[in-house]
Structure 1
Amino acid sequence: MSARRMVFNLTALTSASLGGWYFNKFFEQRRCSNEENNGIYASSTAGIRSMPGLPLFGTVSAAVPLTPVEGNPEMGSKMSSTATRVSQIMKFGFPGLDHVRSYEDFVLSYDRRNKVAHWVFEHLTKERLQYNNEVDRAKCEFKSDESIHPFFRSENTDYKGSGYDRGHLAAAGNHKVEQKHIEQTFFLSNMAPQVGVGFNRDSWNRLEKHVRKLTNVYKDVYVCTGPLYLPKKEADGKKYVRYEVIGANHVAVPTHFYKVIVGETSDGKLEMEAFVMPNAPIDDNTPLTNFQVPPESIERAAGLLFFDKISRNKLNKVNGKNIGWF
């Protein structure tokens, strides 16, 4: 290759690299400006955005991509309705913004290390829970979530022979409006290893049914569900956080699970319930109220703030009691 041609190639490569750098820089500044205007970044992260090489915080991505079709007049309305639904589900705020992914009818924050969601958020109404003969749970299949990088997702083989159920976080029974909605609850990103008999198939199922029944009391029910990894004092008197991992992908087995629920009455009153259940067999005669806990105890254990857009003194009841925030 001649020296002249080498110089030409080097110049072209440098120009392309610089062009790409300037484009990315402009795009990133534009994105950050938009997110700042939308209130995505907290003031505590204001100094982070200008520092190169750090991971992005507060990103929200659609797990089910919308693929534009040229000349399709319905595309704009589809994107608009999806954004509206996410806004409706998350009316009272995100408990965290770590790898947040929006599905058709629920929103999820995924823990890439443990291969189990940090939390899953749902919005329920009596109308959205009505029986639909066109929706068939039997047609649903457990499947890996290909919107998650292969390094970080769980597979059906991880659960095989583990002794644990693939336990729903967003309950399948909560999403009956469309077949696609219920099918998406079977993504493994919405699953966590749960003890089957005595828990997932029994007491946890009772709690899910309780949440659905709340739509008979409230016009809107917002529910956040997730795992906990709680410490336990052992023989040496020290406390340890110990949990099993299963499969080749080391999917974490939570020690406990939580649900934090807010019901909104027709006159705008807000009431909260909070539950923590051990991931273990539970006597089915045990009242669900035995598992009610102060909401802030879950926040401390999970490292999350729930329903942060609700002023705590606006809550009318917490766990059925007419008391203010703790």
Structure 2
Amino acid sequence: MKKFKFFNFLLPFMGVISLTLLLRSPKAPAQSSSVHLTMGNPSGAVNSTSYPNNYLMSKSQYALSYNNTTRIPNWVSWQLNNSWLGSAPRQDDFRADTSLPSAWYRVQGTDYQGSGFDRGHMTPSGDRTRTVTDNSATFLMTNMIPQAPDNNQGPWANLENYSRDLVVNQGKELYIISGGYGVGGTGSNGTQYTIASGKIQVPARTWKIIVVLNTPGSGVSGVTTNTRVIAVDMPNSQGIRNANWKTYRVSVDSIESKTGYNFLSNVPVSTQNVIEARTDNL
């Protein structure tokens, strides 16, 4: 039987401080009614300040696990179908997330300035164009990780566009989870392990998992052993702007082994075992 993997961190990827603090997180997946957690809560995140490095934040537009040590999300999860898309313009109102506990440092919209890294959206602005409010929510800094410009503006952006194309032109519904792991990325100013005077950790890699449902609204019941699942693992570095995102495809199992998370935990284990071992090749 597949085991819950949240504690199986690989030390070389996570860093000693992050590992020690994350191990204080709860051992069982937390339950949530959020549509964005339809496929599961990968780290068992809980909305309690007792778990500052696995702090669940459920917004109308997405859900995430926030890490108050790295000051970036461990992961962000969201649903994408045609109902989320419209004509609202990009707001560009990068700002602190005031829903974080008041005692915690709140990353400011200006904290990435001069760092050589983009304020890299996890839930993209382009995935939330139904209303101005929805689009604005994607500019909260709890939805950002420091991304190398060539990563963010190259294969990462191309995969975002491809995902929306599956929805708009093929009528698919997607459940998407993304984040980073490891420590140390290479931006336009060279390799950095932290930015903002040490306040924000820079991940070494960026990853994303996309569950593609042929029938919108089918939820977990729509996932079978034939369901397409796209998983990518990219270096958070310069020099990859023109790379094809497909070259970074891996299995979900591979990302689980690097992060310690248990993805798609709401899917029956027998189905998980098949779809998580497979690498997308379409």
Q: TM-score, normalised by structure 2?
A: 0.73
Question: What amino acid maps onto 1:289 in structure 2?
Answer: K
Which of 296, 300, 303 lines up with 2:253 in the alignment? 296
Match for residue 30 of structure 1? none
Give the distance between the partners of 1:221 and 1:122, measured in 2 at CA: 8
1:73-92 equivalences under 5 Å are 86=34, 88-92=35-39
Q: Which residue of 1 aligns with 2:232?
A: 275
- Match in the other structure for 1:210: 162
Look up the equivalent residue of 2:145 and give its one-letter code: A
Counterparts of 2:127 and 2:182 in 1: how far apart (Å)?
A: 25
Structure 2 stretches lacking a partner, 5+ long: 5-23, 46-53, 186-190
Match of 1:45 in 2: none
Q: Name which of 42, 47, 55 aligns with 1:99.
A: 55
SS of 2:126 mapped into structure 1: helix
Listed one character per residue, the Cα deviations across residues 272-307 of structure 1 (whole Å, up to 9, x for unaligned) are 111011111244442222100121111121110111
- Matches of 2:235 and 2:126 in 1, distance apart? 22
Question: Higher helix proportion, which one?
Answer: 1
Alignment length (residue pairs):
234
Kept after mapping to 2: 8 A contact 1:100/1:109: yes
Amino acid at match of 1:199: N
CA contact 1:276–1:291 (8 Å) conserved in 2? yes
Name which one, 1 or 2, has greater alpha-carbon Rg.
1
Q: Could you tell me how far 1:179 is from its partner in structure 2?
A: 1.1
Contact 1:60/1:101 (8 A) holds in 2:
no
CA contact (8 A) 2:155 2:241 kept: yes
Q: 1:156 to 1:260 in 2, by over 3 A?
A: same
Q: Does 1:245 align with 2:194?
A: yes
Cα contact 2:184–2:192 (8 A) shared by 1: no
- Structure 1 distance, partners of 2:184, 2:135, is 34
1:166-205 equivalent positions in 2, closer than 5 A: 166-196=119-149, 198-205=150-157
Structure 1's unaligned 5+ residue stretches are 1-41, 43-54, 62-82, 233-241
Q: Is 1:224 matched with 2:177?
A: yes
More relative contact order in 1 or in 2 (CA 8 Å, sep 6+)? 2
8 Å Cα contact 1:165/1:193 also seen in 2: yes
Task: Please say which of residues 112-121 and 303-312 is displaced more in the overlay.
Answer: 303-312
CA distance in 2, matches of 1:200, 1:311: 33
Alignment CA distance shift 1:148-1:248 (3 Å): farther
Within a 5 Å distance, the mapping from 1:55-204 to structure 2 comes to 57=26, 86=34, 88-96=35-43, 97=45, 98-129=54-85, 131-132=86-87, 135-137=88-90, 139-149=91-101, 150-196=103-149, 198-204=150-156
**Partner residue of 2:188?**
none
Question: Structure 1 residue 230: deviation in Å?
Answer: 6.2
Contact map agreement 1:115 1:252 (CA 8 A) in 2: yes
CA–CA distance in structure 1, aligned partners of residues 29 and 263 of structure 2: 18
- Structure 2 counterpart of 1:319, which letter? T
The whole-number CA distance in structure 2 between the counterparts of 1:271 and 1:314 is: 12
| Distance in 2 (alpha carbons) for counterparts of 1:101 and 1:310 | 22
Please identify, of 140-149 and 252-261, the stretch whose mean Cα deviation from structure 2 is larger: 140-149
Kindly state the Cα deviation for residue 225 of structure 1 after the two structures are TM-superposed: 0.5
Distance 1:94 1:179 in 2: 27
Amino acid aligned to 1:121? S
* Contact 2:147-2:236 within 8 A present in 1 as well: yes
Partners of 1:314 and 1:59 lie apart in 2 by 19
Residue of 234, 251, 255 corresponding to 2:204: 255
SS at match of 1:160: coil
Letter in 2 for 1:225: S
Structure 1 residue ranges, 4+ long, deviating more than 6 angstroms after superposition: 58-61
Is the contact made by 1:119 and 1:225 (CA closer than 8 Å) also made in structure 2? yes
RMSD: 3.1
